[in-house]
Amino acid sequence: MKRFVYINDDETAHDLYCDNRISNRKYTILNFLPKNLWEQFRRLMNQYFLLIACLQLWPLITPVNPASTWGPLIFIFSVSAFKEAWDDYNRYLSDKQANEKDVWVIRDGIRKRIQAQDIHVGNIVWLRENDEVPCDLLLLGTSDPQGICFVETAALDGETDLKTRVLPMACVGLASELLCKIKGVIECPVPDKDIRRFDANLRLFPPFIDNDVCPLTINNTLLQSCYLRNTEWACGVAVYTGNETKLGMSRGIPEPKLTAVDAMIDKLIGAIFLFQIVVVTVLGFAGNIWKDTEGQQQWYVMYPDEEPWYELLVIPLRFELLCSIMIPISIKVSLDLVKSVYAKFIDWDEDMYDHDAQCHSHAANTAISEDLGQVEYILTDKTGTLTENKMIFRKCCISGTFYGSDSGDALRDGVLLNDVINRTPDVLRFLTVMSICNSVVPSKSSIGEITYKAQSQDEDALVTAAAHLNVIFLNRTGNILDVIFNNVIVQYELLDTLEFTSDRKRMSVVVRDSQSGKIFLLTKGADESILPVAGPAQQIRIFSDAVEHYAQSGLRTLCLAWRELNEDEYREWSLMFKEANSTLVDREWKLAEVCQRLEQDLEILGVTAIEDHLQEGVPETIEVLRKAGINFWMLTGDKQSTAIQIALSCNFIAPEPKGQLLLITGRTEDEVLRSLERVLLTMRIASSEPKEVAFVIDGWALEIALRHYKEIFTELADLSKTAICCRVTPSQKAQLVELLKSRDFRTLAIGDGGNDVRMIQQADIGVGISGREGLQAARAADYSIGKFRFLKRLILVHGRYSYNRTAFLSQYSFYKSLLICFIQILFSFISGVSGTSLFNSVSLMAYNIFYTSVPVLLTSVLDKDLKERTVMQHPQILFYCQAGRLLNPSTFAGWFGRSLFHAAVVFLIIIHAYADEKSEMEELSIVALSGCIWLQAFVVAMETNSFTGLQHLAIWGNLAAFYLINCIISLIPSSGMYKIMFRLCRMPSYWITMFLIVAIGMGPVIALKYFRFTYRSNAINILQQAEHSSRHPIFMDLEESSQKDGVISPSSPASQPKSSRSSPFQEPLLSDSPTNSNASRKSRGQAAIDFFQSSQSRLSYARNFKNN
């Protein structure tokens, strides 16, 4: 598919293509209400509550006023709708500002000022320095005589270095006054979101040029949201406008990620729904039996003589409405609210502030904070992620001579300096390739100092090193490259550039020496792409040895080569290159084929070695996270030896004899299969030993393994705590993430460059580093941080706290709903199993929205079971989060049992206390509600680990607010509660009842907690006791206590769990998880009967537990 853009032709474009109006809005005023309601009711749980609310409109079956359900439902929907409306309104304001910005265009041969939204495809747009590009433009002219301009693309790809954009060859030399009259046609592809490619052709109509085809690339474009810098003016023709620009096509709402906690909550809701159906069926059946037997004998119950056909459904439906509150209607809204607060804690964390980049950490995804505490695998890039991406030229090998080996710095090697002074031919050719085989743009300051603007840190290091050796890249003027050597300017004409791609792994330029007229091909690239295309007569062994030697020192290597071309050979190849460069279909593949024809029989000049230091704190961070039971995989495009050395230096793998590296190699399917089977056999044997074993695989072998032997490689991945994958492509990185996710592991991917984006988006959690390669990774990620070392705090502190708080809040939400529901069910046994509600509608609404929600929301978001310093010193306790020890069917069963126990306590006490009194129904209802509020205040207080003034205010202030609100309601004669609260508060029996409810309800729970905390302490309990008894930093050996609690610490040599008990932290204290040797990896230490886990997960648990 392609489109034709006619330059300076307004009429044609108006009908074919959209204007430049930007619209990121999701709604309009007319469709907001129906569309938002449709989106909300697409959720199954909302459909359920809507059905319940509609059933309550049937007076015959509703036990309470419909407002008790409609009120909370409308409130929650209104909150969600308001949030959506507010976000959409902000998008509208942003769009309005961009659409109404003034721009200059050419209309009817004259320059006019219009709004940006009125630009059409084919219009010529005129930009001045520092203007923002309003749409995607093809560059037609600039103020620079050589036809170049500079743009800042930070808003597009995050890269802060200025980029050079050049005029198409057909437009070079056109006078500025002719640009207003220019006519032509652009043949380009339909709009897409690839900001790296623009494969198009340009034909200018006579008299400008004789209708020749001019190929276009992305370097000839100015993309929307970029800024024109260091250029007086530039103009271009609009090729893509509005939402069809590359930036507009890239916009969109990413697919939501489902966390492990959310998945468990959905399963618990399903289980409660099934339980609710059973309860409704049983009670409905019992109610109909009572009505037909006992009910008919009661004089005060008047049943009609003839009952309608649906009479048998009335009582079951009444109980369905009564039991509908088993599923808390507010749980999703509550969790979304607190997760937003957790994300803000990450944004506000000053300990994760990067002073070098002057940026805070940022949580772009507010919905997955608790998943950070359950990470099991971290897949990391190397360059710029583990290293600083500050490239320094250290050593080189030229024609078999090693420079810099003694001093460690080739730039200070006297032998090399002498060879430069003596004009040694091989050395000069080597330095020339370093200097001009790149896309670097030199710029000279006002004081004459030359600086380089490079898109690659490697290129910057090479050009800077060549300049230190007196081969200075002075200027790039159009296609003329000026190089100074010993104060003599040497000019080269740049004929063609063979761009670097991840498949070719090399870059070449074709240049003509202006003095001699000779044509040279200059090439640089990875050893695996350069050495195989060397001339047959050249000995490459010494260069391959040099590459291996430098790689073992952890240095990044590049091979440099050259070849002289004869005129006829170049002319013939140039025609093929131009033809491939003009095609719109498969241009990249055809160009690679043509480039391969020229890049043959090269003369290898030498090898460069560049140093990239590790970031500060990387070894310590990896060591700490390993103690937390997290496994690491390194995915890099670097050479195998370099990656291994970096891995050794950052504690990624242990050196011999503690560690062992197993290599997976091969160029054929049989070789890879034999290597895989050998490594897999060794892994199986080593799994029972304390020795650390890791495997190393390159991109070639990985491609074969994933395509033909995926099952074997998957088993190997299950057994491997550490892996190093070298020479891998971005797509292979994403494949490896998907492989680990398919095995039900929680994955975190971290990187810093555009080649890491696919991996980051594929992982359960994506973390981007705001590095020297720009902000592409950071913008695509769920979280962005400034340095790798911040990952430790992100996981151990924020991830762990978020998981603990979310686990408590979600289970408490179920508890408080089940509590009120069980009281209703118990009341039905003394009300003829009729489905009559004990509580009135106002009380139920206030209970759900205010009395039980506010205290837990405020306390849970601030609660910390351990101090941050303690958590960082003892990373092993992250195991409780990874194993799902705080939220699983076992812990939920405890909360379920607690709610049933508390409901029985409240109901039996108030029934016996008021059995002999002539109490109104509303009075009994308020007493029961008071007992629930008192119990929940003490439950929240008991489950809170760290108190602040705000938390005390939330808990006890809410209790006082309950009495204040009910006293106010009791002043209203028509409320049905007239003076009831005042009468109760004056009665000693009421306060005695509250005391008995709290004492009997909380006594066993507190006693059990004390017993567990004192006599069956786990690692967290011990650390808490140490914190309370000491003001100094705590350093303890938790291995013994971990094994006592049934937890095998990740650092423990034990391979099998001895016992398994639930942590008392934020867990119900009426449940004790029994041992289950076959429990799933996701629920270590959970109940023996785990109906939420698959057999495959249980097997993976046994394997992973043993390895740890």
Q: What is the pLDDT of residue 842?
A: 77
Measure the N-to-C terminal CA separation of the chain; round to a whole number of Å: 54
pLDDT, residue 145, reads: 78
User: What's the CA angle centered on 806, arms 804 and 809, to 5 degrees?
Assistant: 110
**What's residue 570's pLDDT?**
93
User: Choosing from 136, 381, 413, 638, which is the catalytic residue?
Assistant: 381
- Contact of 993 with 931, CB cutoff 8 Å: yes
Cα 98 to Cα 132: distance, rounded to the nearest angstrom? 10
**3-class secondary structure, 556:** strand
Which letter does DSSP use for residue 795 in this model? Answer: I
Give me the pLDDT at residue 298, please.
Answer: 65
Q: Can you read off the two tokens belonging to residue 78?
A: 């209104």
d(C-alpha 752, C-alpha 158), whole Å: 11
Cα–Cα dist 505/559, whole Å: 11
- Let me know if 381 is a catalytic residue: yes
The residue written with tokens 């390895």 in the block is 1107
Alpha helices (H) along 355-456:
414-421, 425-436
What count of other Cβ atoms lies within 10 Å of the Cβ of residue 9?
Answer: 16
Q: Residues 85, 155: contact at Cβ < 8 Å?
A: no
In degrees, rounded to 5, the angle at the alpha carbon of residue 9 between the alpha carbons of residues 8 and 14 is 130
pLDDT of residue 48: 80
- Give me the residues of the chain with pLDDT under 70, please: 1, 10-13, 154-155, 157-161, 208-211, 251-255, 294-310, 406, 657, 690, 771-775, 915-919, 1030-1108
User: How many whole angstroms separate alpha carbon 561 and alpha carbon 533?
Assistant: 10
The predicted structure's pLDDT at residue 1088: 27
Residues 116, 20 contacting (CB under 8 angstroms)? yes
Give the pLDDT of residue 772: 59
Contact between residue 906 and residue 931 where contact means Cβ atoms under 8 Å apart? yes
Residues 85, 26: Cα–Cα separation, whole Å: 9
Longest dimension (CA), the chain: 122
Give residues with Cβ within 8 angstroms of 541, minimum separation 6.
none
Beta pairing partners, 480: 477, 493
Alpha helical stretches, state H, 653-692: 669-686
Q: What DSSP string runs through 829-866?
A: TTTTTS---SS-HHHHHHIIIIITTHHHHHHHTT--SS
pTM metric for this prediction: 0.79
Query: Cα–Cα distance between 809 and 814 in angstroms, integer?
Result: 9
Distance CA 789, CA 767 (A): 12
**pLDDT tens per residue, range 601-635:** 999 999 999 988 888 899 999 999 999 999 999 99
In 3-state terms the chain splits into helix, strand, coil percentages (rounded to 5) of: 50, 20, 35
Helix pair 988-1015, 921-943: axis angle to 10 deg: 30
- Report how far apart, in Å, the C-alpha atoms of 604 and of each of 394, 533, 559, 821, 966 are: 19, 9, 7, 81, 89
Q: What is the per-residue pLDDT across 703-755, written as a single tens digit (0 to 9) for each?
A: 999 999 999 999 999 888 899 998 888 889 999 999 999 998 999 999 887 77
The token duo for 449 is: 């100092």
